Structure 1
């Protein structure tokens, strides 16, 4: 059996799924002569094509496909119990995939008290079950894209809870927290402002979690000004735009937990156990210098203080320092001195 990359299609992420392909013998009516065809499992259909001209002969809805001769070989399928068309298939992979679809369709039927359908409908669940059989990574990717904002925020907080087993609880000094929130609003604006957390130990670099959570190491509040702290938060938000942290969480949780999230809207209670160790070992996301410079210029935040905090020697961040849009200028203070002093006390109370 060959696998081909699916073509991009508008309006659905399913077009990126890889397609299963095999040969079969097709009849459009019971009296017709059998005809060799190429059977392709597409995004939501089973497509039958002429192997020479590649003309599409028939389209069948995947959830409607039925096995008509259980336990016999070659397997006989039709686009419904009473359909006239049939196709004989001997390829074991294709037979197994179609069996998986049928099982998923049965499982997708509504059950009282369940949250099935929170994220997707039953038909999409069936197709995604095939993705779990064929390409588990695609299922994880699609699940991450399907999770709504409120659920992402909940998962982000659950991940933070596991991380703080190792780092200690986020700093929450009474004077420091309002100052930290004020700095976040200055850097990101009043809308869609991420939530900033300063962790007391164990975190050596900025990091991000689902739900707009940005984690910052305590060493940033030991700097002379808030510029490095603001820059670290801004740089991590830029990195987050190109790196969905939910993918790493779902990879850790496993395929079954990802499928549970997709079909029921919930991750198992133990899905994030031990995630903190894995999170703290992750390498930082690489962002092109030009993208970083543009973000700092738009936010009116000097870039050099963050770059030199990241590498005091300046060698690995030379492009950021030279491209600092405020190099040689004296930018307006990001916050009053009193607020910065208060922010520096966030881990003290």
Structure 2
């Protein structure tokens, strides 16, 4: 979805009725439009759900009150009354933008069916689950990767808590993302959470989750920048979607090829694994190349990882900016202070 399609609705809110499943009571909630998501919050300002706009479906097109649900999960519903015309119009507008960006109706499903047949034939001949996984990685469009990443983020937030949104913090994160663009081109989406992950974690679709300790416990942004660079390099070496499909097995790859979706239990299990397994180590030579590419000092990160410097001595001694002119600033002092307060200090 293009960012310009969201700009008009960024501050839009509406009242609604939400229930997580058919057996639950409906709750009075406030619905707000965010960057690629609808956020559903109860009357005590507690986030109940995040819905990816790319995966919002309407149960009763053209009827009022409007009833929406996540695509594939009609049991969880959001009801908007007749008088919430602006929010209903906004959701329909954004759903239309998403629909126009997707392949023509039936085309993705047809491609998925044909490619899955080819993948199954290869498996029958060679019994190589890796072939199906690599084929899926080659044909899954970015909009689907973003959707998978948003669903995965929803599972992670059951432990990490909601994304922090302190005043000015989002703008500071945007500045940092522009200073540290993806090497493949484009700007990643940085999100800060209160816990549940170690360092920084890249999800399918380009979202980078950052533990708030990286901004609250350090005096300069070079430390969080180093962890972001490490997350970038891990994703370049091992595609996050590939990692997910490896854990899901052959059936997950075939399901994605045939239907364009992954089973919720696969995503839930992967989220749990991401929060329990330590991140993969990035070789020092790769980290040093990353620091040079993104023009970030290595020493602050190295001492943050090991205060003695013993295990990170290569990064300290070969810092590409040691004894030379400093690199361009990562953030202004004011933006760094705002970022440090993004989770409420």
Name the TM-score class by shorter chain. Answer: 0.5 to 0.7
Match of 1:199 in 2: 193
Check conservation: 1:231, 1:301, Cα contact below 8 A.
Answer: yes
How many Å separate the matches in 1 of 2:306 and 2:200? 14
How many Å separate the matches in 2 of 1:145 and 1:153? 15
Q: How many residues align?
A: 236
Cα displacement (A) at 1:152:
0.9
Please list every run of 5 or more consecutive structure 1 residues that lacks an aligned counterpart in the other structure. 1-111
How many Å separate the matches in 2 of 1:311 and 1:138? 40
Q: Which residue of 191, 211, 214 maps to 2:208?
A: 214
The correspondence of residues 1-349 of structure 1 with structure 2, limited to 5 A, is 115-119=108-112, 122=114, 124-133=115-124, 134-188=127-181, 191-222=185-216, 223-329=218-324, 331=326, 332-348=328-344
Please list every run of 5 or more consecutive structure 2 residues that lacks an aligned counterpart in the other structure. 1-104
Cα displacement (A) at 1:320:
1.1
DSSP-derived class of the 2:202 partner: strand
How many Å separate the matches in 1 of 2:119 and 2:164? 41
Check conservation: 2:198, 2:278, Cα contact below 8 A.
Answer: no
> Which structure has the larger Rg over C-alpha atoms?
1
The CA RMSD over aligned residues, in Å, is: 2.4
Change (3 A) 1:132 1:174: farther
Q: Deviations over 1:187-215 (max 9, x none)?
A: 22795111112120121222211111222
Check conservation: 1:173, 1:348, Cα contact below 8 A.
Answer: yes
Check conservation: 1:164, 1:276, Cα contact below 8 A.
Answer: no
Cα displacement (A) at 1:298:
2.3
DSSP-derived class of the 1:292 partner: helix
Cα displacement (A) at 1:304:
1.1
DSSP-derived class of the 2:210 partner: strand
How many Å separate the matches in 1 of 2:278 and 2:242? 15
Report the structure, 1 or 2, having the larger helix content.
2
How many Å separate the matches in 2 of 1:255 and 1:234? 31
Q: With structure 2 as the length reference, what TM-score do the two structures score?
A: 0.63
How many Å separate the matches in 2 of 1:282 and 1:189? 25
